[in-house]
Structure 1
Amino acid sequence: MSNKAAREKLIFALDMGKGLDEAMSWVRRLTGHVGVFKVGKEAFTRFGPKLVQEIQETGSRVFLDLKFHDIPNTVARAAEGAVEMGVAMFNVHTLGGKSMMEETAKAVREMARKRNLPVPLVLGVTVLTSLNDDDLRALGFSYSTAELVLRLARMAQDAGLSGVVASAQDVEAIRGACGKDFVIVTPGIRGSARVSGDDQKRTLTAEEAIRRGSDYLVVGRPIQTAADPVAAADELCQEIARGLDAR
């Protein structure tokens, strides 16, 4: 598998920096080494749509990771805003319910058609990778993590979403239930070195995640905290390429 194909599957989590210039310095440093930049709550709260615009002006794609979760009308209107920003993908919480997801998917298609813009991938967040079975029991869920993820993934697909955000440990089950065209974006990717202050509990390496069927991998701290972030990104792309070849 080519390095370019592998690189397109690597998403860098751009949630750091004390100012817009510092955030954009990471974009300039990693452009050509990662395929997508993820703008999450931390970065978007600080820098807003201007950060999205400046990333796009470099020719890079944006994953808007705000995890919309509200009543159907509110989420649908927020989704329209994401379409108008031109992001490549964004996400909603599947626990917002099927009606919320259906209205959002419909609003995205209609806004893209109205504005003559590309239709972004709309992803459903299943169970955060910081949660495990004990956490779900404490929250009152009777399902295991694996059971709840699969149930929510099927609901997202039935509602018309493009795919889900899910742990690599759940990828094979989701792929079996939802088919080869359902997009799976996987956070919690780690290398062999332990990341300081890590709060992720359900993790895998990049090669393992891709081999199991992930379409995109979200990586933050393993690149950000590396002695050579560009080299770390390139090594991850090599792992992705090996995972693709092993499928």
Structure 2
Amino acid sequence: MKNKMNLNRACRYYLLRDMDVVLSIIGFVLLTIGFNYLLYRGVFNSRGDGFIILVTYTMMIGFYMILSNSMVVNLTVKDKLNKRIEFVLASGVSIKDLVKAYAIEMWRISSIAPFLLFYSTYVLYDFKTHFKYIGAIFVTTILMLYFVVLSLNIFSLYRKNFKFFKNLLFFFTTFMIYMVGNFSDEILNFLNRFGIDIIGLVISVNFIILFGFAGFSIISLRRMSNESVITREGTWS
């Protein structure tokens, strides 16, 4: 137990000293402040709860994915490429414990901006929707994102071309934000046309992704061994 706590502290210490991580958090907090200012000014009052929920959800996912992707590259991938993982594993640490420590600390740090966004949005915007539904979106999103970042760490240890993997994640995330930002009205009109509730849809999507990545990560962790990670070569290409 003590070794696991030391692993967590070491990961947290390294991540919070990484300038990319710190600058990303500051940038996301500033974006949150900007969005909250627009809410405070009433710019989106006429758009309705559905629009605010969709945009807030997308921003939470975007913030989390971009930041966690940066941390996976700056910690997990670098540890793999410079053979630091081999040194840690040689000291008697299990790769399973190491990956879990990576994931839980990345999850905690990546959740800072989404939580601030969720909390401030709920305080500043007069939702007609009951809090329990808004809260359910946040809770299921955060739970889902833990298994996503755990899976990202597992993926990164077994990928050969790390740069392609990083760019693919970044492209997908920015494309998702772009599509929602430019076609939010069309998306909501499409859902309304078929009587689909945005809250129910978001929570359902969260559970589907959660169970999918949870299943993958649990099965992968069971099969993972120190030897399989050490013998897997990787390049930054």
- Please tell me the TM-score bracket, short chain as reference: under 0.3
Normalised TM-score (structure 2) = 0.26
Find the structure with the greater CA-based Rg: 2
Structure with more relative contact order (C-alpha pairs < 8 Å, separation 6 or more): 2
Which structure features the higher share of helix residues?
Answer: 2
Normalised TM-score (structure 1) = 0.25
